[in-house]
Structure 1
Amino acid sequence: MTAAALADETAAPVLSPMLQRLAAERATGALMRDRGTLYLADGKVVHAESPATPGIDVLLTRGGALRREGWWDAVAEAGAGQRVGRHLVDSGRVPGGALELCHLGALYDAAFFALAPTRTPARFRYGVAHWIGPVRPVPVDAVQRETLRRRELLDRIWPDAAVDTAPLTRTGRPSDAPVPVGRGRVLERVDGVRT
């Protein structure tokens, strides 16, 4: 076997040929797909968002690293300059490590959905930048590897994809333990129709 053939066998599968091409050309802009958007700068993923995942604002504010008002103040003060992340750290509102952890969590979670298989073509808008600004650029290969790792993990846990979209129904069995208030509100909405 040739070295090129061996390299092809060991290379990670490509989830998005377009994303690979954009990384190779060191593109900057927004890759828009059915279930999310990946923002690139110089061919690296600098941010991702999906309606299926909480954003960095939710991770920072619900996790207690930042007050909600502090988030909106930072957006108002630094959003137009696409420097919200840097502003949060420089102003002392958020430690750099907390910002980076929340940013990477939001990025990988959103990328998981944005890179899901689809029949709709992706679109790329060159030059578009996200208002959060640079936090920690991630190579496209790392984003794809993490997405595949998560898919494989979920397939091992529960290989039936219908569980992701099937309407929820109650079991009728009583709970063994008290249900926290937030979870109780979610359970009250289970009606056999909602997914």
Structure 2
Amino acid sequence: MTTTTARADGSAPELLGTLAADRATGALTTRYGVVYLAAGHVVHVESGYSPDLGDLLTRSGAVTPDGWWEAVEHAGAGHRVGRRLIDSGRLTTGALELFHLGALFDAAYFALAPDGAAPRFRPGVAHWFGAVRPVPVDAVLRESLRRRDLLHRIWPDPAVDVVPLTRASAADPADLPPRRGRTLALVDGARTAAQIASALACRTFHTLVELRRLAADGLVTPAPPPPVADVPPGPGDPRGGAWDEPDTALLRRLLDALEAL
């Protein structure tokens, strides 16, 4: 299998547009994630800075961990995990589509973040979960840009999204609205946004909104890097913990828009 690398001045969104026009199938790898395509449509997106679909399903209680792993074990090799979840009665088609869309857009925000690196496309690669509802590339790009613009208007420094954060000495969670106060209370100089979201059982993007608001108010800042000797070997894993249900109203509108195409 060959690997195609985008030209040095190309970006992931630009390459995705080309791949969509070519009705390509494969995996586009960026610095922050992987976008899976089938016939020019996005079928999955993964990022280490957002929960994958299995996390979202099991930590919300929609599917038991045993039920999830049973489906992966028996249907992963055939790229039919989603189909098995539905056929086994563990999940309805509509619920799976909503969870899948939520995970896809959450991960796409990170996977499509500008990073200056050339993305790599591996043709023919399929995701083991199997397609649920393919999403047009334009829809993924628009939603990612909408989220990026929203967060930029709140606070323009994207480092808040991915690095450990520290709290201002005078910041008091009790002085803030409940959700923002709970978010601030978990800022400890070590946790990232994804880890704070995990501790709150909240999706990462919702937590990003609160953290950017806190940053705009001067209550949180990126934590200084630790001394080199204190940095543990290997990359960290920002995921973990529980996640709440997707924003179903927004996802339903997106599904309706996709159905109208």
Match of 1:30 among 21, 27, 32: 27
Question: In the alignment, is the contact (CA less than 8 A) between 2:166 and 2:188 conserved in 1?
Answer: no
> Pairwise CA RMSD of aligned residues?
2.5
Aligned to 2:74: 77
Q: What's the counterpart of residue 101 of structure 2? A: 104
Shift of 1:31: 0.6
2:136 alignment partner in structure 1: 139
| Structure with greater Cα Rg | 1
Q: Secondary structure at the match of 2:167?
A: coil
TM value normalised by structure 1: 0.82
Contact 1:28/1:42, CA 8 A, preserved across alignment:
yes
Q: Tell me the residue number matched to 2:174.
A: 176
Once residues 165 and 77 of structure 1 are traced to their aligned partners in structure 2, the CA distance between those partners, rounded to angstroms, is 35
**SS at structure 1 position matched to 2:127:** coil
Quote the residue 2:254 is aligned against. none
**Residues 130-169 of structure 1 correspond to what in structure 2 (within 5 A)?**
130-165=127-162, 167-169=164-166
Query: Would you say the 8 A contact 1:168–1:194 is kept in 2?
Result: no
Tell me the CA shift for residue 175 of structure 1: 4.1
Correspondence for 1:17: 14
State whether residues 167 and 188 of structure 2, in contact with CA within 8 Å, keep that contact through their aligned partners in structure 1. Answer: no
Residue in 1 aligned with 2:189? Answer: 190
Q: Give the aligned length.
A: 178
Which stretch has the larger CA shift, 89-98 or 44-53?
89-98
Percent identity (aligned): 58
Q: Which runs of 4+ in 1 moved over 6 A?
A: none
Deviation at 1:187, TM superposition (A): 2.9
CA displacement, residues 129-152 of structure 1 (integer Å, 9 cap, x when unaligned): 001101000000000000110011
Q: Report Cα offsets for 1:77-98 as digits up to 9, x if no partner.
A: 1000000011101110111121
Unaligned runs of 5+ in 2: 1-10, 191-222, 227-261
Over residues 58-106 of structure 1, what are the superposed CA-to-partner deviations in whole Å (9 max), with x where a residue is unaligned? 1111111100111101000100000001110111011112111111011
For residues 17 and 67 of structure 1, the distance between their equivalents in structure 2, rounded to whole angstroms, comes to 39
Counterpart of 1:187 in structure 2: which amino acid? L
Residue segments in structure 1 that go unaligned for 5+ positions in a row = 1-13
The TM-score normalised by the length of structure 2 is 0.62
